[in-house]
């Protein structure tokens, strides 16, 4: 099966652009550097090899350099998607249960190749993929294919299978005598050490754990792991230099995860002011996944702008505003895969709709995102010495976040992949 997947990757995807000038001068209308809320008018950026060599208002093209004029555009750092699932596709196409149980690994991998390309072309040059949802270690293999330039795609941080408490996850709904494959790896107590180490051995850059899930007595979300179990996961991962991310929507699961040393909380739908204050104190970031909840509500029949806002969407809006008020660090992450890959900018648009400034939303997907992912020495800013991950969009996204929909140019590691 692994040989089949490798052959498919070679056949279906074109490699990244290879031969390019050693030096390229980019001349946009303005540069958003990832940190300052206002862009720098009239700046240019010189790229040498895979790095940003020079940035500023009077940058000149060296002899033999290629000059690319990008009139009317804002040049900015390649964006970061903090929560993706490249091995899933939109739930209004196929429900999650059927994707996990009925779609073959080969078909899911073929789709993922297209998802990676769409994500890159939308200006997202780095993604953190948070679980293969039943597709084993295919994310780590896709990462290898991207790094080898077999397929085009963003830089990938992967978590492989993710970890769930026994009996808490899905697919569900089958006769109790049958044991169906699960969307993540089950483990409890002392076995957590072995599972964390095994996922690291299979290529995990981060470890993902589901600190709660919909397994309560009435089908509601409830904590799955004890604080001690979560701490075991964190300590085991940390000894290898890897951080841990937690799915957590209940206040109690969020509290346990933060106290255990987990670095980012995903979703946080029912976060309380007390929990958000604890996150600020412990420097834990929130990845809000606003776009996923918005998409699911629309799949259920809600038409945006018509009638009352669904309760789940209202709750999400309120919790996000509470996190902002508390000063929680926000990492842009959408849970894309629930909705269509390449539509990642939807998350930043909702952040602004829910109360963030456009500049702060952009920072959450650039400099702040890089810091949260421990990559600030490589990506997230238009800054001399960092990797040349650069995106040009028509207009000024610091004034109108919808400009992110108009991607005109994408460079990753100094290679032009969209022009």
Q: What is the pTM of this model?
A: 0.94
Distance CA 146, CA 115 (A): 12
Average pLDDT of the residues in 208-213 = 98
The pLDDT value given to residue 21 = 63
Q: Which residues contact 305 (CB under 8 A, 6 or more apart)?
A: none
Residue 15, pLDDT score:
45
Please name the residues in contact with 342: beta carbons below 8 A apart, sequence gap of 6 or more.
115, 118, 119, 121, 122
Average pLDDT taken over every residue of the chain: 95
Q: How far apart are CA 284 and CA 328, in angstroms?
A: 8
Polymer length of the chain: 419
pLDDT of residue 13: 45
Please work out, in degrees rounded to the nearest 5, the angle formed at the alpha carbon of residue 352 by the alpha carbons of 347 and 355. Answer: 125
Average pLDDT over residues 309-314: 94
Are the CB atoms for 388 and 47 separated by under 8 Å? Answer: yes
Distance CA 111, CA 213 (A): 27
349 falls in which pLDDT band (50, 70, 90)?
very high
Q: How many degrees, rounded to 5, is the angle at CA 403 between CA 402 and CA 407?
A: 125
pLDDT at 20: 61
d(CA 222, CA 71): 52
Q: Enumerate residues 6+ apart whose C-beta is below 8 A from 217.
A: none
Average pLDDT for 261-286: 98
Q: What is the mean pLDDT of residues 29-37?
A: 98
């Amino acid at each position: 099966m692994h040989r089949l997947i490798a052959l498919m990757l070679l056949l279906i995807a074109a490699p990244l652009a290879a031969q390019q000038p050693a030096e390229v001068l980019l001349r946009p209308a303005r540069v958003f550097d990832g940190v300052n809320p206002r862009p720098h008018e009239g700046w240019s950026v010189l790229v040498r090899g895979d790095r940003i060599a020079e940035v500023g208002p009077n940058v000149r093209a060296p002899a033999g350099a290629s000059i690319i004029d990008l009139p009317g555009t804002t040049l900015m750092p390649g964006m970061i998607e903090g929560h993706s699932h490249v091995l899933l596709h939109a739930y209004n196409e196929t429900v999650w249960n059927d994707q996990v149980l009925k779609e073959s690994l080969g078909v899911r991998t073929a789709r993922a190749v297209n998802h990676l390309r769409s994500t890159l072309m939308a200006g997202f040059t780095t993604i953190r993929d948070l679980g293969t949802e039943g597709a084993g270690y295919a994310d780590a293999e896709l990462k290898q294919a991207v790094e080898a330039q077999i397929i085009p795609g963003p830089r990938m941080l992967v978590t492989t299978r993710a970890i769930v408490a026994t009996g808490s996850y899905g697919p569900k709904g089958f006769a109790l005598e049958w044991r169906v494959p699960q969307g993540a790896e089950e483990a409890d107590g002392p076995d957590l050490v072995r599972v964390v180490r095994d996922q690291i051995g299979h290529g995990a850059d981060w470890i993902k754990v589901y600190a709660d899930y919909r397994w309560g007595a009435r089908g509601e979300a409830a904590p799955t792991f004890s604080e001690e179990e979560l701490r075991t996961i964190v300590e085991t991962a940390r000894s290898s230099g890897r951080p841990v991310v937690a799915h957590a929507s209940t206040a109690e699961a969020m509290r346990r995860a933060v106290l255990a040393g987990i670095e980012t909380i995903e979703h946080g739908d029912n976060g309380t002011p007390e929990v958000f204050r604890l996150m600020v104190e412990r420097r834990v970031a929130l990845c809000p996944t606003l776009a996923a909840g918005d998409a699911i509500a629309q799949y259920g029949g809600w038409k945006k702008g018509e009638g009352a806002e669904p309760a789940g969407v209202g709750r999400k809006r309120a919790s996000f505003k509470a996190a902002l008020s508390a000063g929680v660090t926000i990492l842009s992450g959408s849970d894309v895969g629930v909705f269509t890959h390449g539509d990642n900018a939807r998350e930043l648009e909702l952040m602004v709709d829910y109360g963030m400034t456009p500049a702060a939303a952009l920072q959450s997907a650039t400099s702040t995102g890089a810091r949260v992912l421990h990559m600030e020495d490589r990506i997230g800013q238009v800054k001399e010495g960092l990797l040349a991950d650069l995106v040009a969009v028509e207009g000024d996204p610091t004034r109108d976040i919808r400009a992110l929909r108009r991607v005109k140019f994408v460079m990753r590691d100094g290679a032009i992949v969209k022009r």
